[in-house]
Structure 1
Amino acid sequence: MLNIEASLTVAGCDLRYWDTGGDGTPVVFSHGAGADQLMFRSQAEHLARHGYRVVTWDLRGHGRSRPGGAPFTAERAAGDLVALLDHLELARPVLAGQSLGGNLAQAVVRRRPGLARGLIVMDSTCNTGPLSRAERVLLSAALPTLSVIPARRLPALMANASAATEQGRAYARRAFEQLPKREFLAVWRATVELVDPDPAYRTPVPLCLIRGERDRTGNIATAMPRWARTEGVQETVIPDAGHLVTLDAPDAVNSAILAFLRTELES
């Protein structure tokens, strides 16, 4: 599979991205906090084999997009994604994201509704969904809780909480070890900043929701089913997978994404 690595300099950071090229429908994947684009390796290979143009990238401060240059914020991360899309001059790409990447993709679709032709969200809460009092408490307590965990223990704890398989946990440990604790906390803070309840909002493009059955991160297990009902779409729940669903169950995720692209966008 041809997968060209290149970079785009934005606000002091050389954002690294990978592009399979071709004339197929473009699908752009954004990864979660503390991860990198390697979490989508299986999806990139699978979709490229079926004729899609796949773009993956390392968010500012993650993976090969280090050093991060300007501090990581929600606005800057969303701006980085838009800058990449503009740079590549993609014709109405499908935006796909996991966890923080899903929040970023939602934010871009909301701010520029004519930019994308579809949205795929994996193991991410709904940016605009209503929050119960308990969910608000959970959201506000997450950062202080992470702050008191010793830096040396954080990668293993996050890996065990994020993945249901040893393959997923091994990847997560490696990825989380690359991001210093202070930077990880800034990224986590940015994720929270993207949550902006607006119960009247509806996604203006076809929407695909995918969740690992064993994902217990934040309020995803309750928020995503509620989101699916509100939008009138069918949520895809992947058995025996955790938060890192693309690594815990790559084949099932590949099938779900391909079915969405074929039935909702190209039928």
Structure 2
Amino acid sequence: MNILPLSGCDLHYADTGGDGLPVVLTHGAGADHVMFDAQRDHLRALGHRVVTWDLRGHGRSRPAGGPFTAERALADLDALIGHLKLHRPVLAGQSLGGNLSQTLVRRHPTRHRGLIVIGSAWNAGPLSRGDRLLLRAATPVLSLVPAARLPAMMADASATTESARADARRAFSRLSKREFLEVWRATLDLLDPDPGYRTPVPLCLIRGEHDRTGNIATAMPRWAAAEGVTEVVVPGAGHIANQDAPGPVNAAIDAFLATLPASEEEPA
């Protein structure tokens, strides 16, 4: 992997290079770039330029150089895109990676040509009273879980296949309980309800049939309806659908990328 030093952290990333459509894959909370191995290999074989990276405090991007915050993660993602001189990349993210990608597209729509969200909350979506209560209770509940049990508990809740669970346990075990709770709180900071907002670039929504994380199972269908897109529900998959069922997820990504204009001209 390559290294980009940023604000006290050596950010590790991999870039397949080439002149193909750039796709930046951002992993979820507690995970790392490995979760997108199947997507990276598949998209590279199709001629796309694929960038994967480890968020600060995750994977090889350790130590984090300070507390993990949503704003710092957003700045890192934006800096990585600038460093690689990517022209209007497609942003793709799972869970927290999807939240970060949504926010960056919302802030800088003309810099990106598409958004792929896998198993992520709808940042701009309305939050019911029940949703708000669930969100407020999540951090205190997680703080009660013994540190030694947290990686296995989160892995079991995230995946339906043993291979995906094993990789999730591996990745989660690299973060301390304090670090994981920091990341969890940062995820909640990215939720910013705005009923009138619509994604200004082409949008692809993917979730696992058995994803029970937060309100994703109920909110993503509403999001798809509001945006006028068809969500892709992956049979048998959980929260990390791209690892539980890489084939169907790769096919959904292929179909979406095929709809994007071939021209790299800036929008009018």
TM-score range, shorter chain: over 0.9
Aligned mates of 2:73, 2:87 — CA distance in 1: 21
Aligned mates of 1:213, 1:137 — CA distance in 2: 24
Aligned mates of 1:246, 1:236 — CA distance in 2: 12
Percent of residue pairs identical? 68
Q: What is the match of residue 167 of structure 1?
A: 163
**1:112 aligns to 2:105 (yes or no):** no
Q: 2:75 aligns with which of 74, 79, 92?
A: 79
Aligned mates of 1:114, 1:217 — CA distance in 2: 31
Contact 1:118 1:265 in 2 (8 A): no
Q: 1:248 aligns with which of 234, 239, 244?
A: 244
Q: 2:131 aligns with which of 124, 130, 135?
A: 135
Aligned mates of 2:239, 2:96 — CA distance in 1: 11
Q: What is the match of residue 152 of structure 2?
A: 156
Q: Displacement of 1:238 after TM fit?
A: 0.2
Give the secondary-structure state (helix, strand or coil) at the position aligned to 1:114.
Answer: helix
**1:98 aligns to 2:94 (yes or no):** yes
Q: 2:194 aligns with which of 187, 193, 198?
A: 198
Q: What is the match of residue 258 of structure 1?
A: 254
Aligned mates of 1:225, 1:105 — CA distance in 2: 19
Q: What is the match of residue 66 of structure 1?
A: 62
**1:39 aligns to 2:35 (yes or no):** yes
Q: What is the match of residue 266 of structure 2?
A: none
- Number of residues of Structure 1 aligned to a counterpart in Structure 2: 263
Aligned mates of 2:107, 2:244 — CA distance in 1: 32
Q: Displacement of 1:181 after TM fit?
A: 0.5
Aligned mates of 1:23, 1:207 — CA distance in 2: 23
CA RMSD for the aligned pairs?
A: 0.9
Aligned mates of 1:111, 1:264 — CA distance in 2: 21
Aligned mates of 2:49, 2:83 — CA distance in 1: 15
Q: Displacement of 1:264 after TM fit?
A: 3.6
Aligned mates of 2:71, 2:57 — CA distance in 1: 15
Note the residue ranges of structure 2 that are not aligned, 5 or more in a row: 264-268
Residue by residue, what CA displacement relative to the aligned partner does 1:73-113 show, whole Å, maximum 9, x if unpaired?
Answer: 01101111001011111010000000000000001001111
After TM superposition, which residue ranges in structure 1, 4 or more long, deviate above 4 angstroms? none
Contact 1:160 1:169 in 2 (8 A): yes
